Structure 1
Amino acid sequence: MSNNLIVGFSGNISRPSSTKRFVESVTEALAKQAGLKHEVFDIEDLGTSLTAARSVADLDPAARRVIRTIINAEALVIGSPTYKGSYTGLFKHVIDLLDPSDLRGKPIVLTATGGGDRHSLVVEHQLRPLFAFFEAFVTPTAIYASGRDFTDGAPSPAILNRVNQALGEASLLLSARSLSAAIAAE
């Protein structure tokens, strides 16, 4: 079941967040390219029921709606700020609530932000294996950006090139998924 949305989810644990702004811009660009609507969430949108939840059923109704929207998305743009070489703990807790089949075959663009180059491997060593477990279709191009990759909130040309490359890959995955669904419906 799909809700014809491209959904962004950011693991930021405070607002305002440069990570969420980056996830929003990539999500909006993918949705525009795919001709779909978009919605973006972060940890704050899951509210206080998140920390005690051991399953999706333990979440309050608003948080369960966020999780359902993520699961039913056509594609996801996932992002997290990098802390000590990894994604945030509450981000991982959200992902731990999902069933292993919830993201199977879903196109995903990975993004991360951090304070410097030391964190750049977070997308390859932390995020990519996490979503491989779920058998999601993660784009080959992931995007890591540090603070110096932005000027007045706008990404540098190098980051924009990576974003465009990942968007092209995600569009191919969306097309293949749509074609597969059409064939299965026949």
Structure 2
Amino acid sequence: MSAPIKLVAVSGSTSQPSRSAALLDALTAGLAAGQATEITQVSLAELAPLLPGVVSAKDAPPALAQAIAAIERADVLVVAAPVYRGSYPGLFKHLFDLIHHESLFNVPVLLAASGGSDRHALVIEHQLRPLFAFFQTLTLPLGVYATDADFADYRISSPALAERIELAVSRARPWLRARG
């Protein structure tokens, strides 16, 4: 029997609850269904107070160091971030600034984002994908973008979004099996 896949889910929102976290939870649940998966949740909302002043991973307090280590050891990453002024939040970038630049080589990454309107739908292509290209990850071809209208009380309410999540999960599963 093979070891479970280490799936790390990174929520890039500094708020709780958040639409990005709800999107992340749906993607993670879909990917984990039916296979041995060890899921680690990394929440920027919980880590945000620890990030200011940390300029190196070696200086990180224990909770932040654990999150960094989990990201660096991931077999698969699922990342969801809110759109903030046309990009991902600065603290989200700061967290990934602490990740060793060679630790994510060839790691499959499923990208997702949420924003107030369709105007920000290209954030996955123009902001998130280049960030993870720096780490030489395998960003999966299909990301998921959601707008505020896709949610009710921080829960997915749009059938169209549910279909996009299902499609992204089905296309990502072969990458998980390849890592297992």
After TM superposition, the score normalised by the length of structure 2 is 0.90
User: What is the aligned partner in structure 2 of residue 167 from structure 1?
Assistant: 169
Q: Tell me, in whole angstroms, the C-alpha distance in 2 between the residues paired with 1:39 and 1:127.
A: 20
Partner of 1:67, secondary structure, is helix
List per-residue Cα deviations over 1:123-176 (Å, max 9, x = no partner): 010001111111111111100100112245224222222212221222111222
Within 5 Å, give how 1:74-153 maps onto structure 2: 74-151=75-152, 153=155
The one of the two structures with greater contact order (alpha-carbon pairs below 8 A, sep at least 6) is: 2
Q: Tell me, in whole angstroms, the C-alpha distance in 1 between the residues paired with 2:4 and 2:133.
A: 23
Contact 2:48 2:91 in 1 (8 A): no
5+ long unaligned stretches in structure 1: 179-186
Distance apart, 1:57 and its partner CA: 0.9
Q: Tell me, in whole angstroms, the C-alpha distance in 2 between the residues paired with 1:107 and 1:86.
A: 21
Write out the 4+ residue segments of structure 1 that deviate beyond 6 Å after TM superposition: none
Q: Tell me, in whole angstroms, the C-alpha distance in 2 between the residues paired with 1:92 and 1:51.
A: 12
User: What is the aligned partner in structure 1 of residue 43 from structure 2?
Assistant: 42
89-98 or 66-75: bigger deviation: 66-75
Partner of 1:80, secondary structure, is strand
Contact 1:3 1:74 in 2 (8 A): no
Partner of 2:171, secondary structure, is helix
Q: Tell me, in whole angstroms, the C-alpha distance in 2 between the residues paired with 1:60 and 1:31.
A: 30
Note the aligned Cα RMSD (angstroms).
Answer: 1.8
78-87 or 9-18: bigger deviation: 9-18
The alignment covers a number of residue pairs equal to 177
- In structure 2, do the counterparts of structure 1 residues 134 and 42 end up closer, same or farther at CA, with 3 Å as the change threshold? same
After TM superposition, the score normalised by the length of structure 1 is 0.87
Contact 1:24 1:40 in 2 (8 A): no
Partner of 1:48, secondary structure, is helix
Partner of 2:49, secondary structure, is coil
Q: Tell me, in whole angstroms, the C-alpha distance in 1 between the residues paired with 2:12 and 2:32.
A: 20
Distance apart, 1:116 and its partner CA: 0.4
Percent of matched pairs sharing the same residue: 39
The letter for the 2-side match of 1:97 is: L
5+ long unaligned stretches in structure 2: none
